[in-house]
């Protein structure tokens, strides 16, 4: 039995803990607030500021885990190299976690070192630098904090009057202590996909069937599997994903995002952990969901194959108001639907647009994915988050 220190305890962490509990692993869930979703199903928990290196060192020494599994960005990730030297396995690796917690490191690795095709981009550490960067990449362009998640701080600049607002919004949405943004030229893409990529210690890299998704405010609203993609584009995306995950090292599941455009595939972003759009795998689309795959790769349990078994979709259940004690109406309605399921994450508070749950639908592989997605969207609307 292994001891796992989970850094970040949201809904993705909760599903990971459930997967770990099912095969007898011990998990200590860590977050900045008590009663976070993963804490509700873990063996033990800690409440700390993970950007405080001394606090991070303290709980690592206290629990002496076999594995450290990051679930969020806002962590003092440079400490991970020391933990690896102590014999603790950082997932997927200290390099992977450190590079991908900051968009600058992963983008430079992909574009400059590996030569992957990306949007034209610049960096800015002030409003004046942002003006200069926008002039160089052109409008429209997208601005994102170097450290953020779930679309926080992300906006699109269409006119000069948007620049100051974009800077302020990015600083407000930034996680951690890095006040810097990436400015990306707008890619005229036809669709976006997430390619869940599983690296293994002693076995080949495996890929899940591509997942399509739609975003609002930089946060995913629906995802579906399999996404429609040409064989040529899929091969190109898999090749890019394998190159970048190999460069980062270690074992685990990566969520690698791509834009699909008329002129081919563009690398967008990478997360060294289960991906929010991958919650569609909870609909039973594969022989293993993304959380089970992450766990098995971490523990060096061989994964013979990842098999797509059903068409599926997920749709987000969001809150519309602030509440200290959110409740849910409509669960009996969604429960009555065929080939439909749902998850309520157990977040102790709500705020507008906060992701509180997800509706899941599936059907046979012959069923059009658009039809299954529409059913997920309709199902999610049956659940109301109340204060």
Residues written for the chain? 387
**Separation between Cα atoms, residue 380 and residue 257, nearest integer Å:** 24
**Separation between Cα atoms, residue 196 and residue 302, nearest integer Å:** 17
Residue 151 among the catalytic residues? yes
Assess contact for 124 and 130: CB atoms under 8 A. yes
DSSP 263-309: TEEEEEEEESS--GGGGGGGGS-BSS-HHHHHHHHHTT-------B-
Q: Which of 93, 199, 245, 277 is catalytic?
A: 277
Q: Which of 281, 355, 357, 361 is catalytic?
A: 355
- Give 187's DSSP letter: P
Q: Which of 184, 276, 290, 363 is catalytic?
A: 276
**Separation between Cα atoms, residue 338 and residue 374, nearest integer Å:** 14
- 188: three-class secondary structure by DSSP: coil
Report, in this order, helix, strand and coil percent for the chain, each rounded to 5.
Answer: 35, 30, 35
Q: Which of 100, 149, 223, 268 is catalytic?
A: 149
Residue 269 among the catalytic residues? yes
Assess contact for 100 and 270: CB atoms under 8 A. yes
Q: Which of 84, 108, 269, 374 is catalytic?
A: 269
Residue 159 among the catalytic residues? no
Residue 355 among the catalytic residues? yes
**Separation between Cα atoms, residue 379 and residue 363, nearest integer Å:** 14
Residue 257 among the catalytic residues? yes
User: How does strand 155-157 pair with strand 89-90?
Assistant: unpaired
- 102: three-class secondary structure by DSSP: coil
Q: Which of 184, 257, 290, 363 is catalytic?
A: 257
**124-130 LR contacts (CB < 8 Å, sep 24+):** 124/167, 124/180, 124/181, 124/183, 125/179, 125/180, 125/181, 126/167, 127/163, 127/164, 127/167, 130/163, 130/166, 130/167, 130/181, 130/183
Residue 8, by phi and psi: left (phi above 0), alpha (psi -120 to 50) or beta? left
Assess contact for 39 and 371: CB atoms under 8 A. no
Residue 149 among the catalytic residues? yes
Q: Which of 53, 151, 330, 346 is catalytic?
A: 151
Supply the residues annotated as catalytic. 149, 151, 257, 269, 276-277, 355
């Amino acid at each position: 039995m292994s001891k796992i220190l989970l850094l970040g305890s949201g809904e993705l962490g909760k599903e990971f803990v459930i997967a770990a509990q099912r095969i007898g692993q011990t998990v200590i869930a860590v977050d900045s607030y008590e009663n976070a979703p993963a804490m509700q199903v873990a063996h033990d928990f800690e409440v700390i500021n993970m950007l405080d290196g001394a606090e991070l060192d303290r709980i690592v020494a206290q629990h002496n885990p076999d594995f450290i599994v990051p679930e969020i960005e806002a962590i003092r990730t440079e400490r991970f190299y020391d933990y690896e030297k102590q014999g603790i396995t950082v997932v997927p690796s200290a390099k992977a976690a450190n590079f991908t917690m900051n968009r600058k490191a992963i983008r430079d690795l992909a574009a400059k070192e590996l030569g992957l095709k990306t949007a034209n981009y610049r960096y800015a550490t002030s409003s004046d630098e942002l003006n200069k960067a926008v002039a160089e990449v052109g409008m429209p362009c997208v601005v994102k904090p170097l450290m953020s998640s779930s679309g926080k701080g992300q906006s699109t600049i269409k006119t000069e009057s948007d620049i100051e607002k974009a800077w302020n919004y990015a600083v407000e949405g930034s996680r951690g202590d890095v006040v810097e943004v990436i400015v990306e030229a707008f890619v005229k893409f036809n669709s976006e996909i997430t390619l869940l990529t599983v690296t293994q210690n002693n076995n080949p890299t495996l890929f899940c069937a591509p997942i399509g998704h739609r975003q609002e405010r930089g946060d995913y609203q629906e995802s579906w599997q399999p996404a429609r993609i040409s064989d040529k584009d899929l091969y190109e995306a898999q090749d890019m994903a394998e190159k970048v995950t190999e460069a980062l090292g270690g074992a685990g599941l990566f969520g690698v995002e791509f834009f699909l455009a008329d002129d081919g595939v563009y690398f967008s972003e990478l997360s060294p952990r289960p991906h929010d759009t991958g919650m569609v795998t909870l609909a039973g689309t594969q022989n293993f969901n993304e959380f089970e795959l992450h766990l098995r790769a971490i523990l060096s349990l061989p994964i013979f194959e990842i098999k797509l078994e059903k068409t599926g979709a997920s749709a987000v259940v969001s809150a519309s108001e602030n509440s200290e004690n959110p409740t849910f109406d409509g669960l009996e309605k969604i429960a009555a639907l065929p080939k439909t399921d749902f998850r309520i994450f157990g977040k102790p508070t709500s705020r507008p647009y906060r992701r509180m749950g997800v509706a899941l639908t599936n059907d046979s592989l012959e069923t059009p994915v658009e039809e299954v997605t529409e059913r997920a969207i309709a199902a999610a609307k049956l659940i109301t988050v109340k204060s």
